[in-house]
Structure 1
């Protein structure tokens, strides 16, 4: 009897799978300081791990359609940028319908949406093409400023839009190098991912933290993350002690580094692209 031939995934479907996998792997990663993980809801009273999973899965059609749009237009330009904006807004509504109105992945829609489309165009120049897309102005985008944008303007910080427009430097210069360094040191995959998150946190002006805890919270996050890495990273006993201290400090400030979490998901997405396409 002939074996049934399984459905061969298209490029758009494979990219959507990787985007959703990155979001779920970021949510599952534990112990993350003051973030939702397998231990609990961190500094959030409206989030939990199951909700993060459901939210991530609800975004799969959006990521697939973004990749398909990139393949259809075939180049960076305003038509593709505005198609991505429309799909992102539709994806956000699907997310909110799934979560009962809770904002679980708005920042990730922006970052991973750009990267998914950019990967469909050319997997060798993902962050460059994502930056070129981010620099284009979507004429149909609503203009009310998000909390992150308001905080970025107030404190002169680099928000999610600027991070993308610069080609995701927190990922390329901090997260990915630390992820690979920790792997080479045999830290184990989960510890390597935690170290990548901490490396992003050391310099990121996380607008989620600024919104919740102001400059004090941001300094606590950056210094605490650096202290973990200085102690040898999350694979060492000294590093784990520093990580526990950072978690305690951020919880006391009600400061959740959601921006860093979104960029970790972007880091994991890009990491999976290497050699895959």
Structure 2
């Protein structure tokens, strides 16, 4: 049987070669996606490592460490490790969302999902609520800057955070439910909380904590000493709603006074700094005081320092 002309034409139709330009574009796009995924993974790992370093640090007055549970009877280092494992995907996802320049409502939902995962892992214990918010926003901003070929400097991160999500953060601060401990404390004692700190571009992080961390490092006193000096600087300065909730005005004042005394005596530049920090730790435990807000900002300091080495 003879083939019709139509069949013959179809059979003989040569396959058109793919344009080398299109092929190169596809390969470039695939490489770009791989690089973006790798960056998000790196940032997510940095966030977890920053929280882990804060957890491992000792002595941290009133706070959980591998040595003891500080002022907390309901959590220990294992509780925190469970929480970190539950958050391992969150920081990657919020970095990806930041790359896309997504609206604040999406970032907020990712944070709420992460908080639920944390509470499931810890049987309802709040280990990292503040860090989910603070570090989450910093991860998103790092993604935003990287996708637009902007430097990952402290100045660029802070400016981009305010430009891209400042309005959303301000509304978040105003709309927060009054049922949270932080909001109740802020209203009762007329102090600012984590939401206001974020809406202002984390001034305590960028203007106090990070400069002090770099100052101690630059003096050659080591990573742990830099972290302790930074923690005490934050304790002496910020209005930590965790402290007002646990110890009222007297407790918050005691923490600030103790931290200032530690710093005025030379901080970690003195030979006996560890003994003085442990003494402060014992005093905080006795009064059940825990500067959790300062710990969150210390983790953020670790994160920003590590971020400066990424490209």
Q: Same fold (TM over 0.5)?
A: yes
Residue 139 (structure 2) aligned to one of 105, 113, 116: 116
**Rg comparison, structure with higher value:** 2
Residue 87 (structure 1) aligned to one of 90, 104, 110: 110
* Distance of 1:271 and 1:236 partners within structure 2: 24
Contact 1:210 1:218 in 2 (8 A): yes
Aligned pairs for 1:44-83 within 5 A: 44-72=72-100, 74=101, 79-83=102-106
Q: Is 1:28 aligned with 2:56?
A: yes
Please list every run of 5 or more consecutive structure 2 residues that lacks an aligned counterpart in the other structure.
1-33, 146-151
SS at match of 2:69: coil
* Distance of 1:276 and 1:148 partners within structure 2: 34
* Distance of 1:39 and 1:103 partners within structure 2: 20
Give the aligned length: 265
Q: CA deviation at 1:218?
A: 1.1
Corresponding residue for 1:181?
215
* Distance of 1:131 and 1:71 partners within structure 2: 15
* Distance of 2:253 and 2:273 partners within structure 1: 19
Corresponding residue for 1:155?
189
Corresponding residue for 2:27?
none
Residue 157 (structure 2) aligned to one of 96, 112, 126: 126
Instruction: Please give the root-mean-square deviation of Cα atoms over the aligned residues, in Å.
Output: 2.0
Q: Structure 1 residues 46, 130: closer, same or farther in 2, change over 3 A?
A: farther
Tell me the alpha carbon deviations over residues 183-230 of structure 1, each in whole angstroms, 9 at most, x when there is no partner.
122211111111111111111111001100011111111111121122
**Greater Cα shift, 41-50 or 9-18:** 9-18
Corresponding residue for 2:270?
236
* Distance of 1:152 and 1:16 partners within structure 2: 31
* Distance of 2:79 and 2:277 partners within structure 1: 25
Q: CA deviation at 1:22?
A: 0.7
**Greater Cα shift, 194-203 or 247-256:** 247-256
**Greater Cα shift, 189-198 or 7-16:** 7-16
Q: CA deviation at 1:60?
A: 1.8
Q: CA deviation at 1:235?
A: 5.0
Corresponding residue for 1:16?
44
TM-score scaled by structure 1? Answer: 0.89
* Distance of 2:194 and 2:167 partners within structure 1: 12
SS at match of 2:72: coil
SS at match of 2:221: coil
Corresponding residue for 1:209?
243
Residue 169 (structure 1) aligned to one of 199, 203, 214: 203
* Distance of 2:44 and 2:52 partners within structure 1: 12
**Greater Cα shift, 248-257 or 155-164:** 248-257
TM-score scaled by structure 2? Answer: 0.80
Q: CA deviation at 1:251?
A: 1.5
Tell me the alpha carbon deviations over residues 227-251 of structure 1, each in whole angstroms, 9 at most, x when there is no partner.
1122222352343343233222221
* Distance of 2:257 and 2:222 partners within structure 1: 24
* Distance of 2:166 and 2:193 partners within structure 1: 12
Q: Structure 1 residues 131, 224: closer, same or farther in 2, change over 3 A?
A: farther
Q: Structure 1 residues 98, 254: closer, same or farther in 2, change over 3 A?
A: same
* Distance of 2:300 and 2:91 partners within structure 1: 13
SS at match of 2:66: coil
Q: Which runs of 4+ in 1 moved over 4 A?
A: none
Contact 2:94 2:140 in 1 (8 A): yes
Corresponding residue for 1:199?
233
* Distance of 2:280 and 2:73 partners within structure 1: 19
Q: Is 1:257 aligned with 2:291?
A: yes
* Distance of 2:243 and 2:268 partners within structure 1: 21
